A and B are shown apart, each in its own frame.
Chain A
Amino acid sequence: QVQLQESGPGLVKPSGTLSLTCAVSGGSISSSNWWSWVRQPPGKGLEWIGEIYHSGSTNYNPSLKSRVTISVDKSKNQFSLKLSSVTAADTAVYYCARLHGIAASSDAFDIWGQGTMVTVSS
């Protein structure tokens, strides 16, 4: 079965760039799914960051779009997140997730990574 595993630094300095990778195992990143990043600040709700298809097509949350880049590496079966100009407000658990479904009207995030905590602090 498909599994996702996030990795990356747990501490990032203010104004720096947060970089995370999500490794896909048990399946191909080139399958007919979109791959997303979702974050959750401590004690708060879930926020969708953006998504990528294996072709490289992306969609981003408008509130983060100017700072976010999501990329895919098919040779390594993984996708990555870069978030620039970070502040303390970007401190959160970051999850990668698979979006599964035939139609946009009924798709869902069916597989999630365990999440990785990223703290923005000097």
Chain B
Amino acid sequence: SSELTQDPAVSVALGQTVRITCQGDSLRSYYASWYQQKPGQAPVLVIYGKNNRPSGIPDRFSGSSSGNTASLTITGAQAEDEADYYCNSRDSSGNHLFGGGTKLTVL
């Protein structure tokens, strides 16, 4: 299929670890990239490739992949991590796809 599926909402207690997942057939061929978006702001790249963080992204953010599932893990979630998270990859034709997004709540 040419879709990326994310859970609509996930919550985590402050300081705990949370995993946000993204499922899709294309993830067997392409790595996912992950974007954090806070209200009224543009998305920000947090993870790309096998497990790469752009400069300025805290090391509590990490990525992994297995089969048709990519995961974004936040180890020791902070209040400022509360945001929407989107995965992105390509479909079988090479066109870009975004997942539907996951709203992360930090309790």
Contacts and interface: CB of A to CB of B under 8 A. Distances in A.
A17 B16 CA distance: 48
Contacts of B86: 45-46
A105 B42 contact: no
Interface of B: 29-31, 33, 35, 42-45, 48-50, 52, 54, 86, 88, 90, 93-101
Given A59-B94, A109-B88, A110-B48, A115 B31 contact: no
Given A46-B86, A105-B31, A108-B48, A95 B101 contact: no
Interface of A: 36, 38, 45-48, 51, 59, 61-62, 95, 101, 104-110, 112-115
A95 to B, nearest CB: 6
Nearest to A61: B95
19 contacts: A36-B96, A38-B98, A45-B86, A45-B99, A46-B35, A61-B96, A95-B42, A95-B43, A104-B30, A106-B30, A106-B50, A106-B52, A107-B33, A107-B48, A108-B49, A109-B33, A109-B35, A109-B43, A110-B48
